[in-house]
Amino acid sequence: MNKNKIADSILSLADSIEEGVFKSNITIAVTNFGSELGIDNINNAIMQSKSQLFNIIVVGEPLEGFESYKACGDDEVAKVLKELFDEKKIDAAVTMHYPFPIGVSTVGKVVTPAMGKEMYIATTTGSADGNSIKAMILNTINGIIVAKANGIENPTVGILNIEGARIVEKKLSELSSNGFDINFIPSKRSDGSFIMRGNDLVAGTPDIMVCDSLTGNIVIKMFSTFQSGGFYETTGYGYGPSVGHEYDKAIFIISRASGTPLIKNAIKFAYESVSGDIVGISKSLYKMAKEAGLDEIINSVDEKKKDNIEDIKIPEAEIVTESIGGIDILEIDDAVLHLRKNEIYAESAMGCTGPIVMISNENLEKAKQILEKAKFI
């Protein structure tokens, strides 16, 4: 080390002691191009974050007092960010747009009303897989990665009651049985399943709420703007970091309607995630998941054979008074056909917690056994 570097190090240490703040080596790029709320909205968040324990680089319109890289347009901003990552000049980025490849999705963080609990939404943008069932399985892993990087050692997991949730629950239970630790938490509603109701979303029952990215995107927007009229995001931490197998760029997404308070939180979210080694945890957990049969479980989503409706003779109609739940909406018709193939009359219906199969009292136990054997429940 030369004398100039030694002198700089001593001066930096002296400044840190005097200010009571010790800066890390973490550098975060923040883009200030494209906000619907104006450039000052973002610049204010950048300037108000300057005293934090990290360095900030500005990409877009140069900002006085910060190292800046001029870029105009989403494509140019994305190009500059990629170059900064490749050159190891930044550890994370906070931006309104980035073209993620399929296989990468973002995990947002909200603050739930009333209790003020932080909850991770897995996921909110991007797509872990083109198949929504497979994507939600991977989203669960992504959510666990982000929660662990932010200091939650054993985060609880719930699956939002949307299309595909029951299938995802079965596949995740299989992954868990194979040795990949998933800390499921039951719903606070009386049924107590791992499928989360709307009440659980508002209450923040799990640390991680699993859903598809389109649903997660809506959830983030509702939590962020419900106090501000819908067009100015004030609360929460944004749409979160990009995560995926072998993806090593921590890119935190905000929206063009994100306000200064939320952008400040997103910058803080980026710092805390990088400090918690989000990329390293991602590599480790994906390795563990694959050792527990993740690839085989993902591939098994496509393997289920459907009964041919033309080959099935509908049994004589019966009065159906009993119900069997726990079947996903995507499989309810197949479940009914499968029972009919086994000479049991069944009808599909919708209960208060989701789809159900209606069965006569006499056939209830037999029907359950058939559906369990075929892995519908």
**What residues are annotated to the active site?**
352
* Angle made by CA atoms 179, 139, 93, in degrees to the nearest 5: 120
Query: Using CA of residue 21, residue 22, residue 24, residue 25, what is the dihedral sign?
Result: positive
Strand partners, 30: 58, 94
Give the C-alpha separation, 275 to 38, whole Å.
Answer: 30
**Phi then psi for 201, rounded to 5 degrees?**
-65, -45
Closest CA to 165 of 345, 373, 332: 332
Contact in structure between 327 and 371 (CB atoms under 8 Å): yes
DSSP string, 256-310: TTB-HHHHHHHHHHHHHHHHTTHHHHHHHHHHHHHHTTHHHHHHHTTTPPPPPGG
CB 345 within 8 A of CB 370: no
* Cα(121)–Cα(105) distance, integer angstroms: 11
d(CA 90, CA 110): 25
Residue type, 266: A
Rounded Cα–Cα distance for residues 23 and 203 (Å): 36
How many whole angstroms separate alpha carbon 19 and alpha carbon 16?
5
